[in-house]
Amino acid sequence: MQFVSSFAPGRVELLGNHTDYNGGVVLSAAIDLGVSAQGARRDDGQIVLSSEGIAGVAAACADKLAAQASWADYPLGVAKVLKDAGHPISGFEAVFSSTLPLGAGLSSSAAIEVATAVLLTRLFDLKIAPLDLAKLCRQAENEFVGVSCGLLDQVSSIFGKKDHAIYLDCRAETVTTIPFPHDVGLLIVHSGVKHALTGGEYNERRDQCFAAAKILGVPSLRDATSAQLAASVEMPPLVKRRAAHIVGENERVFTAVDFLKQGDVAAFGRLMSASHRSSIENFENSTLELDALVEIACAQKGVYGARLTGGGFGGAIVALVDLVEIDEIAQAVVAEYLQKTGNKGAAYRCLLGEGALTHS
């Protein structure tokens, strides 16, 4: 039995919260934490999946794949969409392990999907273009798992580049990498409150965004401006706030790209903090714990800005910090967070890392 392996990084969303399914733009980065998979082909047509961090084994027939309402739905969904797309997927077994904190909003789900997809391309000698592979992974999450996510997470995991941010234009489906300043780092702090998008909040926000675009008469909120939104008198106030978040996020991303190219770290950090304020006031996808972490982080010397990362509703924040002070900042934030909230946070110093296809 010949074993092959794969690794897919998680991602941290720097700016562009919930803009992906609105045809917008996003800045993200692959990180050096992620999901590893090791597997081999089987001759009995069975798919057998296990995880080093989760007890039990999931099994399914490669010719009859159905959701099991467990973590195994992510790899099973990838196997199904690859098979439905005409790729010769048959029986295999795989063992997964992860260095990503589950429920932190660092896209462990996409990392599992991408790790599976890359593993299967190596097991079955499949030739699939990187962007097509990302789309197939998204399809698995949309159709098999039932979360209507955009393309950001899968693209970030596949297209990551060391010491670079990823700029994704979701409408044009183009990916560009932008050098990231070397004297700052990313500090990710888990709130201790699990992030989950399989509830109704994500799909509810998505529907509200689509309703706003319809009222404005535009294909998507990517086509709307802040002035146009402010002038709308028929839009319900709640829907208008949701739209204000998306329109503002797109504008912040466009501005942030220029700041990155100029190396203006302080200005980039201010945009991150502005993004979080909009998550509180407009999109209401933050939590009291995330707000406390952002407030504590931004009060530290050497922190340029902070915001929730990922879908929200729990999970983690990302702070842009001076690299030389990152360890001291991490200790201070976690200690003050515990004192103020009683919750035990966990801090992760993350490097901007390579994508799944460049890992052996």
DSSP state for residue 236 in the 8-state scheme: -
- DSSP state string for 168-218: EETTTTEEEEEE--TTEEEEEEE-SS----SSHHHHHHHHHHHHHHHHHTS
150, amino acid identity: G
Please name which of 221, 186, 219 lies closest in space to residue 10, comparing C-alpha atoms. 186
Nearest CA among 166, 120, 113, 115 for reference residue 138: 113
Q: How many Å separate Cα 5 from the centre of its chain?
A: 22
In contact, 137 and 115? CB cutoff 8 Å:
no
CA dist., res. 302 & res. 122, Å (int):
44
List 132, 153, 169, 223, catalytic entry? 153
Sign of CA dihedral 149, 154, 155, 156: positive
CB-based burial label for 89 (10 Å; 0-12, 13-18, 19+): buried
Contact 209, 22 (CB under 8 A): yes
Q: Is the distance from CB of 70 to CB of 57 less than 8 angstroms?
A: no
Rg over CA atoms, the chain: 20
Which stretch of DSSP H or E encloses residue 40? strand 25-41
- In sequence order, which ranges of the chain are alpha helices (DSSP H)? 73-84, 108-123, 130-139, 152-159, 200-216, 226-231, 237-262, 265-278, 288-298, 326-341
Closest alpha carbon to 153 in 100, 230, 228, 211: 100
**Both tokens assigned to 307:** 């915001």
Is 153 a catalytic site residue? yes
Render 103-114 in DSSP notation, one character per residue.
Answer: TSSS-HHHHHHH
Active site residues: 153
